[in-house]
Every structure is written in C-alpha cells, then in structure tokens.
Amino acid sequence: MRLERLFCKRRFFKCFAVFILLFMAWMFISFMMTINDEDFPDDVVYDIFIDETQDDHPHVPLDQEIMEEAARKKSEKRYGSVENVDPPDPIILWWTEFTLEPGKSRSCKDKRCFFTNNRAFKSHKNLRAFMFYGTDFSPNDLPLPRQKHHEWALLHEESPKNNYLVCHEEALNLFNHTSTFRRESDFPITTQHLHSLKWLESDVYTKTISQKNRYQQQDGLAPVMFVQSDCDPPSDRDTFVKLLMKHVKVDSYGSCLHNKHLSHPIEKPLEGMAHKDFYELISRYKFALSMENAVCKDYITEKFWRPLMVGTVPIAFGSPALH
Ligand SMILES: *[C@@H]1O[C@H](CO)[C@@H](O)[C@H](O)[C@H]1NC(C)=O
C-alpha cells in the first residue's frame, strides 16, 4: 500500500515535469517564430546594421568638422560676414586670433596684403598664408585641407612651456615661415626684450657697490633678489632657490617662496614689471636670480636683460647659449 502510493506519486511528478518541459519548449519555439516572422521583418533588421555596400548613407561629421564650423561661426559673429568684402590683395589670415582686427590692408614687403582674423576668409581665392600664435596652436584646429598655395607661418615668442608641441621638429616642419626665440628661425626674436644696446650702457639706475652695501646694512636688503609669478615651472628653478636660501639670504618677491612684498604701484606683475620703481628696486641689489621657466636654446627674456640694464649681476639659468 505504501509502495503503491509512493509509485503513484512518483509517476505523477514525472508526468508533470515532462508536461512542464514540453510547455516551455512550445513557448520558446513560438516566441522565436514570432520574432522572425512578424516583429522584425527582414528589411528592418537589415537597417539596424551599417550597410557597407551602400554608398549614400548619411555623412557623419567628424569632431574636427564640428569644431571648425563652430569656430567659423564664432569668428563671423565677432568680425562680421564677408559676403560683400572682396580684398584684391593677398590675404593673410591669423588662424589663432592675434590682432583682433576684422581686416586691414598693410604693406607687405613691396606690395599690400589684407590681414584679418576672420576665419570666413579661409576659402577665399586670394588667401595666401595662415598665421599661428604658438601658444594657441593646436593640432585639433587647423585650416585643412591644406592647399598648395597656402603657406603657414608661426609666431612663438613665449616660453616653450606654453606649448610643448612647437619644441618638436615634426610640428615645426608644418610651417613655411617661423618667428621664434630660436636664432635659426626665419625672423628670430631672441633679443626682443633688449630694446637697444643703449639700454645696457645707460647708468640711470646704476648704483655703486658702497650704495648697494648701504641698502643691505640700513634697509636690510638681501644680496640677492628673486621675482617670479609662475611656481614650479619645468625648469624647476624653485628647488634651486630653496637650496640657495639655506646659504644666502634671498629676497623673494614673487608668489613662490615669497618673503618680501612689492609695494604699490609695482605689485601687479604685468603692469609693474616695466615700471621705473621696479628698475630702481632691482638696482639696489648686487645679484638678481634670472631664471627662466623653461630651459630652451635661445629662450632669453627680460628676466635676464633687466638686471643687466640697471647694473645688477644676473645669475642666469635658461638658454645654454648664455655666456
Ligand atoms: C610649405 O610647407 C609645406 C609643408 O612642409 C610644403 O608642403 C609646401 O610645399 C610649402 N610651400 C611653399 C610655398 O614653400
């Protein structure tokens, strides 16, 4: 009796399990058939995938094109439409904004050229040259495609640290003309911060050694001064100055290793650095740390010339060409 019951029970479960399995299989098969035959007709399935055999699928704009279009629109908004402007002279376009002029005719060797910042001139038939300001030069924003008669020119007067790209041969080879701190460039600006030799000969600010000694003894000035606004640059000058400070007193006026204040009106770096009060201040020191933010051949700035002009010895670190 017991056995019989158990047997029946077992058989019942077996039958039930088989029934469930069959039911699920039927559900699955009918579901698959619905997918293939009704919900996804062949042509719809086909469209989901990219059809590489078809030539006329819509053109997807590249990032470069989107950016260029945005820059062109911005440029047109700022400098105006060029529909009715048709300069007869060769057009020189500042691809990276520089003069901020919409367009101006200037002499250009023995003829006239039309200089503009307006990118709408990019495709003008008279366009001859694109100019780039080194710091703003970006490989993601170039006037492409480059035409045979398009010449590219680079002006890079700032530190190599501002754009590492222009330290590379491959980048420099893109340009037909260069004007940089390197003396090998077509129009070198190595000495742009030295206005004339007369400046070096002038003794307007020069102090005698006994005067400088008095500034040290009476006003408590250090023998060495340091001014900078850019901390921890690639030249790592701060590490050197920190070490030097362990041995020699250094008056540091800039934002790094700061221990001395610049007073009005020279506390603002941009306006103050060419002020006569600033020259006067440097001239009271025996030495000035003239350390560039990047060490690069021929990169010599006013940090070097300024102490020389006022009779203070520059302790120079920068271009290996300095002697
Ligand atoms: C300008 O430079 C490019 C790239 O080096 C070169 O292909 C082109 O011929 C140059 N154009 C002229 C006019 O020298």
| Confidence label for 28 from pLDDT (cuts 50, 70 and 90) | confident
Residue 209 DSSP code: H
What is the number of the ligand 1 atom nearest to the C-alpha of 173? 5
Answer yes or no: are the C-beta atoms of 121 and 127 closer than 8 Å: yes
Report how far ligand 1's centroid is from the alpha carbon of 176 (Å).
6
Residue spans per domain, the chain: 42-180, 197-317
Q: Indicate if ligand 1 lies below 6 Å from the C-beta of 176.
A: yes
What pLDDT score does 46 carry? 37
- Can you list the pairs that 113-118 forms with residues at least 24 positions away whose Cβ atoms lie under 8 Å? 113/89, 114/87, 114/89, 114/90, 116/79, 116/91, 116/92, 117/75, 117/78, 117/79, 117/93, 118/75, 118/76, 118/78, 118/79, 118/80, 118/82, 118/93
Task: Give whole-number Cα distances, 312 to 152, 255, 318, in Å.
Answer: 41, 22, 18
- Between CA 320 and CA 103 the distance in angstroms is 40
145 cis-preceded (ω within 30 degrees of 0): yes
Q: Which is more confident, 251 or 159? A: 251
pLDDT given at position 44 = 40
pLDDT per residue over 244-277, tens digit each?
999 999 999 988 899 999 888 787 766 677 789 9
For residues 94 and 121, is the Cβ–Cβ distance under 8 A? no
Substitution candidate for ligand 1 out of 128, 142, 151 with most atoms within 8 A of CB: 151
Nearest CA to ligand 1 atom 11: 151
Does residue 173 have its Cβ closer than 6 Å to ligand 1? yes
Chain segment 86-128, per-residue pLDDT in tens: 888 999 999 999 988 888 899 988 999 999 999 989 999 999 9
Residue appearing with tokens 């910042």: 117
38 band by pLDDT with thresholds 50, 70 and 90: very low
Q: Ligand 1 centroid vs 145 CA: distance in angstroms?
A: 13
> 151: Cβ below 6 Å to ligand 1?
yes
Q: Average per-residue pLDDT in the chain?
A: 84
Q: Compute the distance from residue 231 Cα to the ligand 1 centre, in Å.
A: 39
Q: pLDDT of 220-246, one tens digit each? A: 999 999 998 889 999 999 999 999 999
pLDDT value for 101: 84
CATH class of 197-317: alpha beta
Q: Is the distance from CB of 317 to CB of 291 less than 8 angstroms? A: yes
> What's the predicted TM-score (pTM) here?
0.71
Instruction: Compute, in angstroms, the gap from residue 147 CA to the centroid of ligand 1.
Output: 9
190 alpha carbon to ligand 1 midpoint, in Å?
25
pLDDT tens digits for range 278-320: 999 999 999 999 999 999 889 999 999 999 999 999 999 999 8
pLDDT on residue 100: 86
